[in-house]
Amino acid sequence: MIRKTFKIFILFWVASIGFAQIDETKVIDVKPAIPSEPVKEGVCWDQSLVLPRFGAWSCVTANKENYDPCFSQENVTDAVVCDVNPVKKTAGLKLKLAQPLPFSQGMAALPDQAWIVELEDHTICKVEAGPQKIIENTGTIAFVCNEAGLSSGVNAGLLAGFELGPVWQGHFVHYSVENEIYVANTITQVSIKTVWR
């Protein structure tokens, strides 16, 4: 009996590690250093499409490789850093600019703006670039999520817009595409553990 109780306690403890209650969403402003290497050459043609805020850019290399977002530093005018992954803590690459940035700063970020988010169950969701995915009478799918074990034809994402507070709240959606129409299968309110913006 004691052994059985001990096993139940261990299982409960292990399960609780991954789903500990979040007291506050951690918000991280991404300001990466520009690495010395690897180096590519290119230009930044506009403010970032996936992260439209000060210091974030849409760029392309001389070999027509697109990077969005790339990040500039206030005192560096001849290079930006691209291909950064703050979740995996990869430093990215240095993009040496063939011409100056198109304008000095860009636009200010919105209060609920995010590039990458980590949900309470550690699922990672990232802003979706490209044409909008609109679910009728529901909202726009703004993030794609890396949830494992999804059934064939089922996708995971986050709807645009967060409810701000000590703990940010979002709406997690499982959706499918039927006759080129996006259809929500389930929508669940979720807590956001970490925001990179």
Could you read off the pLDDT of 56-96 as tens digits, one per residue? 999 999 999 999 999 999 889 999 999 999 999 999 999 99
Residue 145 falls within a domain, yes or no? Answer: yes
pLDDT in tens, 141-170: 999 999 999 999 999 999 999 999 999 999
Kindly tell me the sign of the dihedral angle through the C-alpha atoms of 122, 123, 124, 127: negative
Residue 14 falls within a domain, yes or no? Answer: no
Which range marks the domain in which residue 140 is found? 116-196
Percent over 90 (pLDDT), the chain: 80
Spatial separation of the C-alpha atoms in residues 51 and 117, rounded to whole Å? 13
Q: Is the peptide bond before 38 cis (omega within 30 degrees of 0)?
A: yes
Shared-domain flag, residues 142 and 87: no
Spatial separation of the C-alpha atoms in residues 79 and 114, rounded to whole Å? 24
Question: Residue 5 has what pLDDT?
Answer: 40
Shared-domain flag, residues 82 and 152: no
Question: Residue 10 has what pLDDT?
Answer: 37
Tell me how many domains the chain contains: 2
Residue 23 falls within a domain, yes or no? Answer: no
Question: Residue 9 has what pLDDT?
Answer: 38
Residue 8 falls within a domain, yes or no? Answer: no
Residue 66 falls within a domain, yes or no? Answer: yes
Residue 74 falls within a domain, yes or no? Answer: yes
Name the pTM for this structure. 0.86
